[in-house]
Amino acid sequence: MDKFGLIGHPIAHSSSPALFTAAYGGKYRYDLIETPDFDQAWARFLANYKAINVTAPFKGDAYARVDWRSPESERVGATNLVVKTAEGTKAYNSDYRGVKALLEPLGCRTAAVIGFGGAGKAALAAAEDLGLDTHLYRHAEVAGGVSADIIIYTLPRAVEGIDRLDCTHLLEANYKDPCLAGRPGYIPGSAWLLAQAVTGYALMTGEQPDAAAMAKVFSEV
């Protein structure tokens, strides 16, 4: 039976196993491959798994190691999903795909991305590729205030100036310990995680996941 998993460190808190189990009704095994050593994690993937999700701090390492990169992973310069195939390892970026899916129906014209880690890079590329007038703010630049139709907040914690965010929609990447929940137009990190997982799991398995069952995972937390 094909096996799947997640590499990164630390990842004990990850919701990915529960999401994957719900996506396919427990049909496939999904493991947390937790080690601070990328080479060790990569070797375990190659030896035992068909595909893996990749999280911090390994998104750049995995991107550099694969045999083929999708256009969106090249656009971002990182991968969070690698599939092993007969042609070699292939990298994708489902963060990019997830953000794009969330932004498309909103009808925004301007976007501000706060933070430039892996999630921030994916959000910036997705917003730009949708044709939004997009600006990047690093954490030190938030203090002066930020204004846009949609603000995408990818920092792991609150910084000076988050009380001066002016927007119609506010998407936060952090779903475990959000600092902006409850504001008007708020889109939680769980929506981002779900959007990227739905597209990502289909790439990993070649089968469409049960999105409704995946969404239920968050309602039960």
**Which one from 50, 59, 90, 216 is the annotated catalytic residue?**
59
User: Does the N-terminal peptide bond of residue 57 adopt cis geometry, omega within 30 degrees of 0?
Assistant: yes
Enter the pTM of the model.
0.90
Q: Is 59 a catalytic residue?
A: yes
Going residue by residue through the chain (221 aa), what tens digit of pLDDT does each one get?
899 999 999 999 898 999 999 999 999 999 999 999 999 999 999 999 999 999 989 999 999 999 999 999 999 999 999 999 999 999 999 999 999 999 999 999 999 999 998 899 999 999 999 999 999 999 899 999 999 999 999 998 999 999 999 999 999 998 888 999 999 999 999 999 999 999 999 999 999 999 999 999 987 75
The domain limits of the chain are 3-92+192-219, 97-187
How high is the pLDDT of residue 117? Answer: 86
Contacts of 68 (CB under 8 A, 6+ apart): 87, 88, 89, 90, 91
How high is the pLDDT of residue 118? Answer: 84
Candidates 3.40.50.150, 3.10.580.10, 3.40.50.10860, 3.40.50.850; correct CATH number of 3-92+192-219? 3.40.50.10860
How many CB atoms lie under 10 A from the CB of residue 81? 27
Q: Which CATH superfamily is domain 97-187 in?
A: NAD(P)-binding Rossmann-like Domain (3.40.50.720)
Please tell me the chain's helix, strand, coil percentages from 3-state DSSP, rounded to the nearest 5.
40, 25, 35
